[in-house]
Amino acid sequence: MSDREVLLDTETTGLEAAQGHRIIESCCLELKNHVPTGRVLHRLVDPGRDIDPEAERVHGITRASLLGKPTFGDIADELLAFLGEDPIVAHNAPFDLGFLNAELARLDLPPIDPGRAIDTVALARRRHPGLPANLDALCRRFGIDNSMRTAHNALLDCQLLAEVYLELLGGRQPGLVLGPAARLPRGAGAAPPRARTPRPIVASEAELAAHRAFIAGIKGALWARLEPEAY
């Protein structure tokens, strides 16, 4: 099983892909063993349409700033190659994959399987039921500095989400647990944990004799009262 995952975030012209809204910014950030490798694919895209004022207030990207940028069709092959066949981590994954698949459909390309998605909103709600699961709230909860996040930005959001995702998995060593019940899932196809053979520690006769001699020298030793036949 690959230890690679890809964080994905998009900004769009509006909230509904079904209403013809388009991707205007995409960012992919590579993880290995849940930790960023430094490989990033960040692209601004000319959507060929206006941006809803409400969306513009959220991300601050204007239509004018996108004129002359590549279209989604120009970056599709590069984006798909970066995603590969690995799991895709996204905050509110149905939103990002919904827009991504709408763009792929326009190009007559096959959709990305939603089963590849790891939704950090769903992870956060399972770990902290009843608490806010937006990115800002999670940054505050985990002590992650998001002071530079004055507007939504796919690159910055991916960088913050990488830290949040690691915390949602249990921190810097998400697999370091004490019992089988606490083990985190490793994903489909992962090999089951290897059974461990108990290795009892048994004292030798010489060690037992030395211990009995030591106890005999202690007045009123507790061990002698608990197991008098041994001493």
* Dihedral, 140, 118, 169, 148 alpha carbons, nearest 10: -30
C-alpha 24/C-alpha 49 separation (Å) is 10
42 is catalytic: no
Helix, strand, coil shares, percent, the chain, to 5 = 40, 15, 45
User: What is the torsional sign of CA 113, 18, 157, 174?
Assistant: negative
C-alpha 199/C-alpha 37 separation (Å) is 39
C-alpha 173/C-alpha 74 separation (Å) is 39
- For residue 208, give the H/E element and its range: helix 205-216
Cα of 114 vs its chain's centroid, Å:
16
Q: Considering the candidates 21, 59, 91, 152, report the single residue annotated as catalytic.
A: 152
Residues acting as catalytic residues:
152
